[in-house]
Chains A and B, each alone.
Chain A
Amino acid sequence: ETGVTQSPTHLIKTRGQQVTLRCSSQSGHNTVSWYQQALGQGPQFIFQYYREEENGRGNFPPRFSGLQFPNYSSELNVNALELDDSALYLCAIMEGITGANVLTFGAGSRLTVL
């Protein structure tokens, strides 16, 4: 087990709806990142939160937004869902190992948009 828990594991939405995905870690890491992984592709960086503030963002529109809470759990919100939003959404915490910053991922939330 990675210690990163994501919910829900699977969900189905229709185009135009909104979705909230959740992430928590056992040790309460203060840095959390979200990635989108379309089928057959590598993960793509959405954004990162550090101590409740967004401090980095990839090429995703504003309808992708997030929150990080004082206990360092996090949410990813997607508004006005489009068919292309169908993907595995991964939450990751950053862990230092002898100076490195390794991303440790959760199992992901599989979103299907119909």
Chain B
Amino acid sequence: EDQVTQSPEALRLQEGESSSLNCSYTVSGLRGLFWYRQDPGKGPEFLFTLYSAGEEKEKERLKATLTKKESFLHITAPKPEDSATYLCAVNPAGTYKYIFGTGTRLKVLA
């Protein structure tokens, strides 16, 4: 069964304290792995797509990496405005369905 597990569930960081969020996945065939940011009361906002093991993408303080079993979202020197829930999703091959994890709630303290 296709499945996505994210850890930790919640994370509190001091401003400038770098860390990583984990997304473990099991899928029969991977068309793509996606990272989204979701602010309270809003829809998910697209961050990155990764397609194959070894691929990396960067945007400002965020960097996403992908292996055959998991993805990491690295946050370097976070700021309070990075506080949000970060969602990981996989799109299995042969379907347009996206399977989401439950997310990591990130709080960055000033």
Contact = CB atoms under 8 A, between A and B. Distances in A.
Interface of A: 2, 4, 31, 33, 35, 40-45, 48, 55-56, 58, 90, 92, 94, 97, 100-108, 110
A48 B96 contact: yes
Nearest to B49: A100
A99 B100 CA distance: 21
A80 to B, nearest CB: 25
B96 A107 contact: no
B99 A45 contact: yes
B89 interface: yes
Given A42-B87, A42-B89, A101-B91, A107 B49 contact: no
Question: Lowest 9 A-B CB distances belong to which pairs?
Answer: A42-B100, A105-B43, A45-B97, A100-B49, A107-B43, A43-B100, A42-B102, A105-B44, A108-B43
B97 A48 contact: yes
B42 interface: yes
Nearest to A95: B46
Contacts of A45: 97-99
Contacts of B28: none
Interface size class of B (residues with CB under 8 A): 20 to 34
B34 interface: yes
Contacts, number: 65
Nearest to A6: B43
8 contacts: A42-B87, A44-B100, A56-B97, A90-B43, A94-B96, A100-B49, A104-B46, A107-B41
Given A31-B96, A42-B89, A101-B91, A106 B43 contact: yes
B49 to A, nearest CB: 5
Contacts of A100: 32, 49, 51
Given A45-B97, A56-B97, 7 more contacts: A42-B102, A43-B98, A44-B100, A56-B95, A92-B43, A101-B91, A107-B41
Contact of A102 (B4, B49, B51, B87): B49
B7 to A, nearest CB: 13
A89 to B, nearest CB: 10
